[in-house]
Amino acid sequence: MSQGIKVIGVLGSPRRHGNTEILLDSFLKGATEAGAETDKIILSKMSYSSCKGCNACHKTGECILKDDVHPVFEQMLSADCLVISSPIYTMGITTELKGFIDRAHYVWVRHYKLNTHPLPPEKKKLHRGYFLSTAGMDRDDVFSTAFPMMTALFNIFGFSYCENILAKDMDGFGGITGNPEILTAAHKSGSNAIKGILAKEPCNTVKKV
């Protein structure tokens, strides 16, 4: 392994082994081949409730709901690279992923309201976040609503939002395997992410593939 570099991939699709998971697997394969330790989190296999909006965490920094999100959030906080993968359903990310992001509010409270778990700026610069997504429609704006949510998620957990790897028109391609170029791009991004972390190169801008 390359100096213990950890990559967490989060699959937001309720469908197993579909377009989005294949895209995520390509990224993780590139990261693994570059020497990283990778782990894939399958949200559809987890049990968690939606945020109740009670704001109890504003006082304690703790969520009153006790379920599967807490250990996963701890994994994400300790990772060097975070990869979020979701298909687009009705012009937005999946219910599974949106609910997961909402539950991270207590982590936001800790970092930005209570300041009990501050993130040093250098950590955010060197920790890399990637968003992978697929969509059936061939529309230029089909991914647009997802970007603000990814920005929020990466900010909460202390990752620079490095890159979007987006595969639209899956209906036209007949699935992700009909677009091998995007799979190659995902694999290359996974490898480059590890190389960048090893070289201590900060990631400051979002690039669209």
pLDDT digits (tens, 9 = 90+) for 119-157: 777 777 889 999 999 999 999 999 999 999 999 999 999
pLDDT > 90 in the chain, percent: 87
Task: Judge contact between 76 and 82, C-beta under 8 A.
Answer: yes
pLDDT of residue 152: 96
What mean pLDDT comes out for the span 18-39? 98
| SS3 (DSSP) at 163 | strand
Q: What is the pTM of this model?
A: 0.94
| SS3 (DSSP) at 116 | coil
Residues 162-197: b if buried by 16+ CB within 10 A, e if exposed? bbbbbbbbbeebeebeebeebbebbbebbbbbbebb
Residue type (1 letter), 49: S
Phi, psi of 127 (to 5 degrees): -95, 130
- Residue 204 — very low, low, confident or very high, per pLDDT cuts 50/70/90? low
Both tokens of 193, joined, read 């992410």
pLDDT of residue 205: 61
- Residue 1 — very low, low, confident or very high, per pLDDT cuts 50/70/90? very low
**Mean pLDDT for the chain?**
93
Judge whether residue 116 has pLDDT over 90: no
Torsion sign, CA atoms 155, 159, 165, 169:
negative
Among 24-28, 98-102, 165-169, 203-207, name the one with the lowest average pLDDT. Answer: 203-207
Determine the distance from the C-alpha atom of residue 70 to the mean position of all C-alpha atoms in its chain, rounded to a whole number: 16
Length of the chain: 209
Cα atoms found within 13 Å of the Cα of residue 24, Cβ hemisphere only: 27
The 3-class SS string of 7-69 reads EEEEECCCCCCCHHHHHHHHHHHHHHHCCCEEEEEEHHHCCCCCCCCCCCHHHHCCCCCCCCH
Task: Judge contact between 88 and 142, C-beta under 8 A.
Answer: yes
Cα separations in angstroms, 157 against 90, 139, 179, 185: 27, 30, 32, 25
What mean pLDDT comes out for the span 25-45? 98
Beta carbons within 8 Å of 111's beta carbon, 6+ residues apart:
117, 118, 119, 156, 158
- Residue 3 — very low, low, confident or very high, per pLDDT cuts 50/70/90? low
The full set of domains in the chain, from first to last, is 6-208 (3.40.50.360)
- Residue 50 — very low, low, confident or very high, per pLDDT cuts 50/70/90? very high
- Residue 39 — very low, low, confident or very high, per pLDDT cuts 50/70/90? very high
Judge whether residue 10 has pLDDT over 60: yes
